[in-house]
Copies of this chain bind each other. A is one copy, B any other.
Amino acid sequence: MRISEAAARSGLKVDTIRYYEAQRLVPNVVRGSDGHRRFSPENVDWLTLLYWLRETGMPMKVMQRFAALYAQGDATILDRKSILLDHSRLLAKRRDDLDRCDEILARKLEIYEEYLQ
Protein backbone atom coordinates (compact mmCIF):
# COMPACT_ATOMS: atom_id res chain seq x y z
CA MET A 1 0.00 0.00 0.00
CA ARG A 2 1.06 3.62 -0.38
CA ILE A 3 2.40 5.93 2.26
CA SER A 4 -0.83 7.79 3.02
CA GLU A 5 -2.57 4.53 3.85
CA ALA A 6 0.37 3.34 5.95
CA ALA A 7 0.12 6.63 7.83
CA ALA A 8 -3.61 6.26 8.38
CA ARG A 9 -3.20 2.71 9.64
CA SER A 10 -0.14 3.18 11.85
CA GLY A 11 -1.04 6.52 13.41
CA LEU A 12 2.19 8.15 12.24
CA LYS A 13 2.13 11.12 9.89
CA VAL A 14 3.36 10.76 6.33
CA ASP A 15 6.27 13.10 7.07
CA THR A 16 7.20 11.16 10.16
CA ILE A 17 7.26 7.89 8.26
CA ARG A 18 9.62 9.35 5.67
CA TYR A 19 11.76 10.80 8.45
CA TYR A 20 11.85 7.47 10.30
CA GLU A 21 12.83 5.65 7.13
CA ALA A 22 15.69 8.12 6.60
CA GLN A 23 16.79 7.41 10.18
CA ARG A 24 16.90 3.66 9.40
CA LEU A 25 13.97 2.97 11.70
CA VAL A 26 11.96 1.20 9.03
CA PRO A 27 13.70 -1.69 7.27
CA ASN A 28 12.58 -3.38 4.04
CA VAL A 29 10.53 -0.62 2.48
CA VAL A 30 10.52 -1.29 -1.26
CA ARG A 31 9.82 1.12 -4.08
CA GLY A 32 7.48 0.67 -7.05
CA SER A 33 8.57 1.39 -10.62
CA ASP A 34 7.38 4.98 -10.10
CA GLY A 35 9.85 5.44 -7.22
CA HIS A 36 7.05 5.54 -4.65
CA ARG A 37 7.27 3.60 -1.40
CA ARG A 38 5.22 0.41 -1.11
CA PHE A 39 4.35 -0.76 2.40
CA SER A 40 3.65 -4.38 3.19
CA PRO A 41 1.34 -5.38 6.07
CA GLU A 42 4.47 -6.30 8.00
CA ASN A 43 5.83 -2.78 7.41
CA VAL A 44 2.60 -1.33 8.75
CA ASP A 45 2.72 -3.56 11.83
CA TRP A 46 6.22 -2.29 12.48
CA LEU A 47 5.19 1.34 12.02
CA THR A 48 2.28 0.84 14.38
CA LEU A 49 4.64 -0.55 16.99
CA LEU A 50 6.96 2.44 16.50
CA TYR A 51 3.98 4.75 16.88
CA TRP A 52 3.08 3.31 20.27
CA LEU A 53 6.65 3.15 21.47
CA ARG A 54 7.16 6.82 20.60
CA GLU A 55 3.75 7.82 22.00
CA THR A 56 4.78 6.32 25.33
CA GLY A 57 8.18 7.95 25.39
CA MET A 58 10.76 5.59 23.94
CA PRO A 59 13.79 7.68 22.96
CA MET A 60 14.89 7.73 19.32
CA LYS A 61 18.20 6.03 20.10
CA VAL A 62 16.50 3.03 21.64
CA MET A 63 14.18 2.81 18.66
CA GLN A 64 17.21 2.84 16.40
CA ARG A 65 18.82 -0.01 18.31
CA PHE A 66 15.54 -1.89 18.26
CA ALA A 67 15.12 -1.34 14.50
CA ALA A 68 18.69 -2.44 13.80
CA LEU A 69 18.02 -5.70 15.66
CA TYR A 70 14.73 -6.19 13.83
CA ALA A 71 16.52 -5.73 10.51
CA GLN A 72 18.90 -8.55 11.45
CA GLY A 73 16.11 -11.09 11.80
CA ASP A 74 15.03 -13.74 14.28
CA ALA A 75 18.46 -14.28 15.83
CA THR A 76 18.00 -10.99 17.71
CA ILE A 77 14.68 -11.78 19.35
CA LEU A 78 16.17 -12.16 22.82
CA ASP A 79 17.69 -8.68 22.62
CA ARG A 80 14.48 -7.20 21.30
CA LYS A 81 12.57 -8.87 24.08
CA SER A 82 14.75 -7.20 26.67
CA ILE A 83 14.21 -3.81 25.05
CA LEU A 84 10.46 -4.27 25.19
CA LEU A 85 10.63 -5.47 28.79
CA ASP A 86 12.65 -2.37 29.69
CA HIS A 87 10.06 -0.24 27.98
CA SER A 88 7.29 -1.91 29.84
CA ARG A 89 9.02 -0.93 33.09
CA LEU A 90 9.08 2.63 31.80
CA LEU A 91 5.34 2.43 31.22
CA ALA A 92 4.88 1.48 34.86
CA LYS A 93 6.95 4.46 35.91
CA ARG A 94 4.87 6.74 33.70
CA ARG A 95 1.69 5.41 35.21
CA ASP A 96 3.06 6.30 38.65
CA ASP A 97 3.89 9.78 37.38
CA LEU A 98 0.33 10.21 36.16
CA ASP A 99 -0.99 9.14 39.56
CA ARG A 100 1.36 11.53 41.33
CA CYS A 101 0.32 14.38 39.04
CA ASP A 102 -3.35 13.57 39.59
CA GLU A 103 -2.82 13.93 43.32
CA ILE A 104 -1.11 17.26 42.89
CA LEU A 105 -3.86 18.54 40.61
CA ALA A 106 -6.50 17.37 43.08
CA ARG A 107 -4.80 19.29 45.89
CA LYS A 108 -4.51 22.45 43.77
CA LEU A 109 -8.14 22.23 42.69
CA GLU A 110 -9.20 21.81 46.30
CA ILE A 111 -7.35 24.99 47.22
CA TYR A 112 -8.98 26.78 44.28
CA GLU A 113 -12.40 25.66 45.51
CA GLU A 114 -11.75 27.21 48.88
CA TYR A 115 -11.10 30.53 47.21
CA LEU A 116 -14.13 30.16 44.99
CA GLN A 117 -16.93 29.44 47.43
Contacts and interface: CB of A to CB of B under 8 A. Distances in A.
Interface of A: 48-49, 52-53, 55-56, 74, 77-78, 80-81, 84-85, 87-88, 91, 94-95, 97-98, 100-102, 104-105, 108-109, 112, 115-116
Contact of A77 (B81, B100, B105, B115): B115
B88 A105 contact: yes
Copies per assembly: 2
A49 B84 contact: no
Contact of A97 (B55, B97, B112): B55
Contact of A108 (B84, B100, B116): B84
28 contacts: A48-B104, A49-B104, A49-B108, A52-B97, A52-B100, A52-B101, A52-B104, A53-B101, A55-B97, A55-B101, A56-B97, A77-B112, A77-B115, A77-B116, A80-B112, A81-B109, A81-B112, A84-B105, A84-B108, A84-B112, A85-B109, A87-B105, A88-B105, A91-B98, A91-B101, A91-B102, A94-B98, A95-B98
